[in-house]
A and B are shown apart, each in its own frame.
Chain A
């Protein structure tokens, strides 16, 4: 089981540093609300689509990611059409389209490990407020490692409960999963502590 939406291709977009992509996304998030003329969003949307073509993002997965939000956007468009104006509805939909497609482009072209690195660098200034970037990276990797494992456990529980006719009972699925998780957490803590991990160790102690 592989986690992540990253699709490897040899394109210039893939080679752009992750930090630049994230900052562009933040800038675009502010930008779409500040454009003086909504018509400027049309070339912006064309540019984003152009970049997606250039990055050769997978069409099927793009559509799959957009389907749930597309329904919502159509509803918002119709609500505007009926109650306010089609022009405003068009502007709102354009804004969402630019942002969502740009975000999707970043997601498809950037490895999760690179994103996490950017994040850790971004969090470093927060150390002043007691946020520990090293603890954060340990937790991130633990979670990533345990998602497939817990999913496997969940499937086992489902099969066991199906034999009892309880596989549609949320509680009968959730309680065993939680108990298993808590037990696993105990074992994992002991394993980490047994290896002498000290979460509060300063980097200079090494």
Chain B
């Protein structure tokens, strides 16, 4: 990693933190209030690519764990990672990595549809595949009940995937970062 990569990682971790300080937006169509923080996970992967995107989210989680109150709602500390929602949070770095990997692989033909699908797979399917069993095991409720309890957040997450896709496609045109990285000099 060169200096530029480190700065991208550090600043995107800060962006994700800022998105959590912002009060949740209640969308008119979907009643569930959505926080912009998991949107940050999708955006980090989509914009920075696999390695830097994953690291940015990992850095963010490290800061949450040591007690910086930057998780949505001003929460922080080890407790949030040990709590019922811990599985969702711990899946985030891998989710950002996966999204980044898929974006890098499909960079040439990245359009809004492809980017949306990538964010749905990495940012919703994968995250729920980690988070729901965690709730089920830690709370000792069945997998089915844990899943039903999580379904309310899906509409909001779909909106976020769409926004992340728009961001990915716009920034690919306006401020491409991933392609620069593909030159052999950059590591």
CB distance from A93 to the nearest CB of B (A): 9
Q: Which listed residue, A6, A29, A64, A73, touches B84 by the CB 8 Å rule?
A: A73
A144 touches B68 (CB 8 A): yes
Q: Does A174 contact B (CB under 8 A)?
A: yes
**A107:B79 contact, CB within 8 angstroms:** yes
A126: CB under 8 A from chain B? Answer: no
Which of A29, A138, A140: most chain B Cβ within 10 A? A140
* Assembly CA distance A184 to B77 (angstroms): 29
Q: How far is the CA of A186 from the CA of B5 in the complex (A)?
A: 10
Please tell me if B10 contacts chain A, counting CB pairs below 8 Å. yes
Contact between chains at B13 and A199 (CB < 8 Å): no
Please tell me if the beta carbons of A150 and B11 are within 8 angstroms of each other in the complex: yes
Whether B21 contacts A151 by the Cβ 8 Å rule is yes
Query: A204: CB under 8 A from chain B?
Result: no
Given A154-B22, A185-B11, A189-B3, verify A171-B163 contact (CB < 8 Å).
yes
Interface residues of B in 13-67 (CB under 8 A from A): 13-15, 17-18, 21-22, 25, 36, 39, 43, 47, 59-60, 62-63, 65-67
Contact of A68 among B7, B62, B75, B82 (CB under 8 A): B75
Residues of B within 8 A of A104 (CB): 77, 79
Residues of A within 8 A of B2 (CB): 199
Q: How large is the interface on A (under 10, 10 to 19, 20 to 34, 35 or more residues)?
A: 35 or more
A65 contacts the other chain (CB 8 A): yes
How big is chain B's contact interface, by range? 35 or more
| Residues on the A chain within 8 Å of B80, using CB | 69, 103
Instruction: Check if B84 sits within 8 Å of A72, measured CB to CB.
Output: yes
Q: Is the CB of A79 within 8 A of B145?
A: yes
Q: What per-residue 1/0 map shows which CB atoms of B136-179 lie under 8 Å from chain A?
A: 00111110010001000000000000010011001100110100
| Chain B residues, Cβ within 8 Å of A91 | 140
Residues of A within 8 A of B170 (CB): 175
Among residues of A, the one whose C-beta sits closest to the C-beta of B160 is A170
Q: How far is the CA of A171 from the CA of B167 in the complex (A)?
A: 8
Is A197 an interface position by the 8 A CB rule?
yes
A106: Cβ under 8 A from any B Cβ:
yes
8 Å CB contact of B17 from A102, A147, A192: A147
CA–CA, A101 and B15, complex, Å: 29
Are B77 and A65 neighbours in the complex by a CB distance under 8 Å?
A: yes
User: Across the interface, do A107 and B67 meet the contact criterion of CB distance under 8 Å?
Assistant: yes
Q: How far is the CB of A141 from chain B (nearest CB, A)?
A: 8
Cβ-closest chain A residue relative to B164: A174
- Structural contact, A75 and B79, CB atoms closer than 8 A: no
Tell yes or no: A5 within 8 A of B by CB: yes
Interface membership of A178, Cβ < 8 A:
yes
Partner of B66, one of A29, A102, A116, A181: A116
Chain A residues at the B interface, C-beta cutoff of 8 Å: 3-6, 22, 25, 29, 64-65, 68-69, 72-73, 75-76, 79-80, 83-84, 88, 91-92, 95-96, 99-104, 106-107, 110, 112, 115-116, 119, 135, 138-140, 142-144, 146-147, 149-151, 154, 168, 170-171, 174-175, 177-179, 181-182, 184-186, 188-189, 192-193, 197, 199
Q: A5-B76, A139-B6, A199-B1 are in contact. List 6 more A-B contacts (CB 8 A).
A: A79-B149, A112-B66, A112-B68, A143-B10, A143-B17, A170-B25
